[in-house]
Structure 1
């Protein structure tokens, strides 16, 4: 029932799940544990789970434009309000939440400025708006090794390094431009251990996200070469991989 959600969890959830507590620490700073909060672009619910743990399900709302993700998040957190919607058109009145958070979604927004603007709109005055994106541009994101190998084999394949929020300062600039105050940006780093190369690599074959689509588009010979380069770099395992995200937060 949740094939797409399960594939995403296997692929990015192994990094975004440990990122969620770090991001929640930032995004809930100064926010009371009884306050209403919103998870924008919740996916199958990695950050949603952390917000429910801290605030209680009744105080948590979440949205995502992908129906299968909404179904998965709603099933996992039946006490929360989970709705299908885009960041650029949030289905909530003005001043509805004390904190609004977007984990690893700004770079997928059709209009990031509009999405952050909507997050500001639904946040109460004095409330907090926060977003984070992997450091694709700086080369320390969880997919950096993959993209390095792809660029060797197929230099013209577009990567994620220029996506909004993927470079230092991008998110802070977006938040400032929407009129938020006391804006700060910090790196958040997680480390994930893999028992073997195959355990790390398998989710790349699921066709999930920009990386999965890019790999599927390579010729069979190019795919083999990418795997050879990565295995030569990483070894058979076990190994630990670090990943850093840029996170920015501001006050309405």
Structure 2
């Protein structure tokens, strides 16, 4: 998770602007049929965008959250002191079997060291009849939150890395993984959110904070290369306002 070993505010400014609006429709799916008094788990909580939504629905005392990044754990724990927030990896969850009515992983499966193990752990700690859910941006289909960025990057630098091959980034892959974890009645859908930016700079500046693969790519450019990329992106998107529609594959199943 070194790609996300950044300050909590940097993550919020970069990805939080998309993950926050995604959290409500994702929670609708991840909590479908789950009792309002059930304990629920946010896996890979980051600075707490989904945690906020879960707390609003289930109450702080029923929400647990884990993340391997210490800064994110600290930020989430400070925001929700009544929740159980711990530093842990998805592949080794510090909970007993059958603890939760639901376990949700928002925009994290594709960055797990071992997605199969992580989903297996989510299934283990969820009680029979409970729900496990995960979502990943549609990187492969070109409609994710960062697709416009990577499209221009690859036009300028065809050898640049991207995110389109990450697990769960294409239709059907999350279904395959959740089914492999032993979940039943697995269903998959595409959730789409929209975010408006008044200016190009408002959209672009968070890419310079070093968050995730996109931020790491920008940080690796020299000053001239970075300015050239910004110019190419501005030519593509305009000076503003800029509207980004971001879609994420979302799958859920029952234990």
Which TM-score bucket, shorter chain as reference? Answer: over 0.9
1:105 paired with 2:128, answer no
- Separation of aligned partners in 1, 2:155 and 2:132: 38
CA deviations over 1:82-130 (Å, ceiling 9, x no partner)? 0000000000000000000000000110000000000000000000000
TM-score calculated relative to the size of structure 1: 0.98
Q: Is the 8 Å Cα contact of residues 48 and 62 (structure 1) preserved in structure 2?
A: yes
- Secondary structure at the residue paired with 2:38? coil
Summarize the alignment of residues 89-238 of structure 1 with structure 2, pairs less than 5 Å apart.
89-238=92-241
Q: CA deviation at 1:215?
A: 1.2
Shift of 1:234: 1.1
User: What 5-or-longer segments of structure 1 have no aligned partner?
Assistant: none
RMSD of aligned residue pairs (Cα, Å): 1.1
Conserved 8 A contact 1:153-1:222: no
Runs of 4+ in structure 1 deviating by more than 4 angstroms, as ranges, are none
Question: Equivalent of 1:249, from 244, 247, 252?
Answer: 252
How many Å apart are 1:221 and its aligned residue? 2.9
In the alignment, the residues of structure 1 paired with residue 30 and residue 174 of structure 2 have an alpha-carbon distance, to the nearest angstrom, of 14
Distance across 2 between alignment mates of 1:237 and 1:146: 15
Q: Does 1:34 align with 2:37?
A: yes
Matched residue pairs, number?
A: 251
TM-score by length of 2: 0.97
Partner of 1:77: 80
Cα distance between partner residues in 2 of 1:112 and 1:239: 34
